[in-house]
Structure 1
Amino acid sequence: MNDMNELKKSVNDGGVQLVWIGLQRKWQWSSGEPALYLNWGFGQPDGRDECAFMRNGEWHDWPCSKSLTFICNSSNRNTGLVFVNQTKNWKDAQSYCRQNHTDLVSVRNQNESQQIQKFINDNRISNDVWIGLFRDSWQWSDQSNYSFRYWKSGEPNNAGGDENCTMLNPNALGHWFDIICTNQYPFVCHEDKLILIKENLTWPEALRHCRQNYTDLVSVHSEEMQEEVMNVVKRASTEAVWLGLRHSCILGIWYWLSGETVCYQNWAPGNGTGDEDCESGVRSGAVLSGGDQRWISRPETHKLNFICSRS
């Protein structure tokens, strides 16, 4: 609600009536991956349906309750694909693939699309087939948690069957409305203070990247900043993430790149002592991406994701 109050103030100060916010219903794969590569047929998706099938190499949306044959991903050494010549609705097809193979097939790039079409041609499959693409529930564009809701009563209503984006109406107490994505409105952007970079770099490489593109590796000198780090680090692809935390072998202390010594402490047990093994190389600080997200000491040559700060 604090975010909403700030947003309403910003919008009211601008004197606008309706604005886009970053909430949208998106397509994703049954495997959980976002649908970055798209290969829709002409006029597709029409916005009314939630599941997708393949016809002549192109995708079409259709009601998930309809019955079609389908293709599963599998551990098959030759193609990794299995055609199931049974008609099922999309949910039952997904369950069948997960129980007997791996999952409904994903088509994540042009190469996979061509491989699947070759598989269809080689097996002389002439009918439409379910693929693992479906439209999920509402998601924020920055992938943050969709737990807070501020819809106007009766919304979202998907009037016309194609309302997959969200606008805010200051005249309706800032409540949200679902609406067609092709409408044109002003919009509100935000800049995160912290940026998670999902590249695996050494600590010096991460430092260089942050200073060239943002401000610095993040310094976590308070519990408040640690909470912000915890919100970001959950999306990391490595077990720990570099911070702007450095050990001085000469002084035998840990310090932040922002200049502060480490007063606020969040070390995992056995980490963060002044008595580091300097003979094995310079040590730097990272935060665990899982569990209680404590700080750990690691050689600077390890390759991890990292967090940059904008200020």
Structure 2
Amino acid sequence: MNWTEAQTHCRQTYIDLATVCSKHDMDKLTAAFPSDFTEVAWIGLERGLQWRWQWSFSDKDFYVDSDVDFRNWRSKPPNPAAVDRCAVLEPNGKWIDDSCSTQRHFVCFNESAVGDLKYVLIKENKSWREAQRVCRERHVDLVSVRSNAENNAIKAVVKSQAWIGLFSDPWVWSDHSNSSFRFWGPDQPDNVNNVQDCVAVTHSRVWNVLRCNTSRRFFCYSGDINYLSPFMSNLPTDMDAQFASTTPSITTDSADFTVPVHSSQTAYTHTYHAGQTQHSNGVHVLLQTVTEDTAHGSSDQVTTSHAIHTVTSEEETTAHTPVHQTTDDPAPTSSLFTDTLILVRENMSWIEALTYCRAHHTDLVSVTDPRVQQEVAQKVANASTPHAWLGLRYTCKFSFWFWTSSASVCYQNWAPGHGPGGQRQCGLAGAIEASRGNQWVSLSETYRLNFICRL
């Protein structure tokens, strides 16, 4: 499919074309490539109309309040619409912009170090993108500067002009995520004759810009609560396309799943998704397949059917008190997620709720995208408390919010004054409002609330 057709297919069948928020996401996505894959596959990045300055290091938990907007330009802010411009730190601490292809020293960010040792000056002459690659391979990324204090600390290690992690580009994600993560291949992004506006992952596991109207395979994301779940898909070119089945393989290391189920003898390939649900009687691996067949006599009409794991309402008891749980019963094709979530209408602290979910189901829910948010909002509408616990907790040791499922996501729905932009203290956990905008709030983990488990 071309990029627009792939976008439509992903939105109708899953959630959207894949968004990549980090190197971890990129590794997950490319793990779905067949070993003999020699083509390219669309992701959800396209050229937008507005250029803007962004940081190479895209972890949203790293930035608090307006940290991400800190700038220290030597004069007035440069025009971000200039093609291929990146930021340079001068020895006096001021910033200038320059062509990203210029060769110079650069400063990397080493997250595991302490104090000023986090800032590593690399005395090798590299272009900005070459510097970015080196920093990601040896450390974490090119350095981000969030305050005057950090700017002064980085200035102390710089003796001449050096690249920092700020760059300008016009690229936007299909799902409207604000992820600034990029993983361009050599000499990318280019735009030959001003007609290359959509991004694909190559067999070399890097990104290239291509014409949007060319037919390619593509990655969708499914909204799996654990991680970005890639699906590669392309329409069959022939109604008699024959599939060669292979033995399904499921790897359950750290709840990550790779399930090659079918390979194609034609241009059609589909990578399936394995989801894990854990019940009190052990672990059940659920294979959620999507089968696609062409309509008779037509090679461009596809009927998609979902094998959905359905969970009925249940009432369970603990050793001491009854716990009432409710689920909705939607039409089989109305949702991929409602039947995997359950509202527990029992008041517990966050720790007690986490323990209960892991003992009786899988975990407290992680809200990884707008569709999961919608499903959680449907559940919490029946809560008997003003808020319900999510699998979201604050670590005061490292000063960031994290999901108990270890999900790495871009999506956030914090109420004003809560989350990364709110108070930072030990003992906070995340909950969702049962009414109003169903936004997330940070509360003391000792509060006793209803909670939502993932089955």
TM normalised by structure 2 equals 0.32
Scaled by the length of structure 1, what TM-score is found?
0.44
